[in-house]
Amino acid sequence: MNPGELKIIVKEKYGRIAMQTGDEKPSCCSSSCCGPEVDYTVFSESYEKKEGYNPDADMNLGCGIPTDFAGIREGDQVLDLGSGAGNDCFVARAIVGETGMVTGLDMTEPMIMKARQNCLKLGFKNVGFVLGDIEEMPFDEKLFDVVISNCVLNLVPDKSLAFREIFRVLKPGAHFCVSDVVIKGSLSEKMQKDAELYAGCVSGASEMNEYLKIIADAGFINAKVHKQKEIKLPESLLAEYNHPAELNSYKAGETGIFSITVSAERLG
**Do 262 and 180 touch, CB atoms closer than 8 A?**
yes
Question: Is the CA virtual torsion 9, 203, 113, 80 positive or negative?
Answer: negative
For residue 72, give the DSSP letter.
-
pLDDT attached to residue 253: 67
Give the mean pLDDT of 173-180.
97
pLDDT at 36 over 50: no
Look at residue 22 in the predicted model and tell me its pLDDT. Answer: 54
Instruction: Please state, in angstroms and rounded to a whole number, the distance separating the CA atoms of residues 68 and 51.
Output: 11
Report the alpha-carbon distance of residue 198 to residue 143 in Å, rounded. 39
Amino acid 203: pLDDT: 64
Give residue 40's pLDDT. Answer: 45
Least confident of 67-71, 165-169, 206-210, 246-250: 246-250
**pLDDT band of 4, cuts 50, 70, 90:** confident
Is the pLDDT at 17 greater than 90, yes or no? no
CB-based contact 149:89 (threshold 8 Å): no
Per-domain boundaries in the chain: 3-266
Residue 162 Ramachandran class (φ > 0 left, ψ -120 to 50 alpha, else beta): alpha
Residue 232 predicted with pLDDT over 80: no
Q: What is the mean pLDDT of residues 97-124?
A: 96
Q: What distance in Å separates the CA atoms of residue 95 and residue 72, rounded to the nearest whole number? A: 7
pLDDT surpasses 50 at 107? yes
Contacts 24+ apart (CB under 8 A), 134-140: 134/81, 134/82, 134/105, 134/107, 134/162, 134/165, 135/161, 135/162, 135/165, 136/165, 137/105, 137/165, 137/168, 137/169, 138/105, 139/79, 139/169, 140/169
Is the Cα dihedral 194, 197, 198, 201 positive or negative?
positive
Phi, psi of 230 (to 5 degrees): -75, 135
Q: What is the pLDDT of residues 191-223, one digit of tens each?
A: 666 555 545 566 678 899 999 999 999 999 999
Q: What is the pLDDT of residues 40-95, one digit of tens each?
A: 455 778 999 999 999 999 988 889 999 999 999 999 999 999 999 999 999 999 99
pLDDT of residue 32: 38
Whether 188 has a pLDDT exceeding 70, the answer reads no
pLDDT of residue 44: 78
pLDDT over 70 at 34, yes or no? no
Q: Please, are residues 230 and 253 in contact by the beta-carbon 8 Å criterion?
A: yes
Q: Give the span between the Cα atoms of 135 and 133, in whole angstroms.
A: 5
Q: How far apart are CA 165 and CA 139, in angstroms?
A: 10
- The model carries a pTM of 0.85
pLDDT one-digit tens code per residue, 143-164: 999 999 999 998 888 999 999 9
Section 223-230 average pLDDT: 94
Task: Name the CATH architecture for the domain at 3-266.
Answer: 3-Layer(aba) Sandwich (3.40)
| pLDDT, position 241 | 61
Q: What is the pLDDT of residue 183?
A: 87
In which band, very low, low, confident or very high, does the pLDDT at 184 lie, cut at 50, 70 and 90? confident
Q: What is the pLDDT of residue 233?
A: 67
